[in-house]
Amino acid sequence: MRELFELYAAFFRIGLFTFGGGMAMLPMLTKEVVEDKKWATNEEILDYFAIGQCTPGIIAINTATFIGTKRKGAVGGFVATLGMITPSLIVILIIASVLTRIMEYEIVGHIFAGIRVGVAALVTEALIGILRSGIKDRFGAVFYVMILAACILFDPSPVYAVIVGIVVGIMRIKLIDKKKEDKI
The total number of structural domains that make up the chain = 2
Per-residue pLDDT of the chain (184 residues; tens, 9 = 90+): 898 999 999 999 888 877 666 677 778 888 888 888 898 888 888 888 888 777 877 888 888 899 999 999 999 999 999 999 999 889 888 888 887 778 778 898 888 889 889 989 988 888 888 888 888 889 989 999 999 999 999 998 888 988 999 999 899 888 877 777 777 6
Interatomic CA distance for residues 65 and 78, integer angstroms: 7
Specify whether 9 is located in the same domain as 100.
Answer: yes
Residues 72 and 161 occupy one common structural domain: no
134, 159, 174 - which closes a domain: 134
CA distance readout (Å), 30 to 13, 49, 59, 84: 13, 12, 14, 15
Please indicate, yes or no, whether residues 98 and 146 belong to a single structural domain of this protein. Answer: no
Distance in angstroms (rounded) separating the CA atoms of residues 36 and 38: 6
Residue 154 sits in the same domain as residue 129: no
In a shared domain, residues 79 and 19: yes
pTM comes to 0.58
Q: Are residues 83 and 18 in the same domain?
A: yes
The pLDDT value given to residue 21: 66
Instruction: Indicate if 38 and 119 belong to the same structural domain.
Output: yes
Distance CA 12, CA 178 (A): 47
What pLDDT, on the 0 to 100 scale, is given for residue 81? 93
Q: Answer yes or no: are the C-beta atoms of 60 and 84 closer than 8 Å.
A: yes
Among candidate residues 118, 144, 58, the one with its CA nearest the CA of residue 48: 58
Mark whether 116 and 140 lie in a shared domain.
no
Residues 7 and 77 in one domain: yes
Residues 51 and 142 in one domain: no
Verify that 109 and 175 share a domain, yes or no: no
Q: Are residues 40 and 112 in the same domain?
A: yes
Can you spell out the DSSP letters for the chain? -HHHHHHHHHHHHHHHT--SSTGGGHHHHIIIIIIIS-SS-HHHHHHHHHHHHHSSS-HHHHHHHHHHHHHHHHHHHHHHHHHHHHHHHHHHHHHHHHHHHHTTSHHHHHHHHHHHHHHHHHHHHHHHHHHHHH--SHHHHHHHHHHHHHHHHH---HHHHHHHHHHHHHHHHHHHHHHHHHH-
Structural domain for 96, as ranges: 2-134
Check residue 50 and give its pLDDT: 81
Please tell me the distance from the alpha carbon of residue 27 to that of residue 70, in angstroms, as a whole number: 20
Q: Residue 20 has what pLDDT?
A: 65
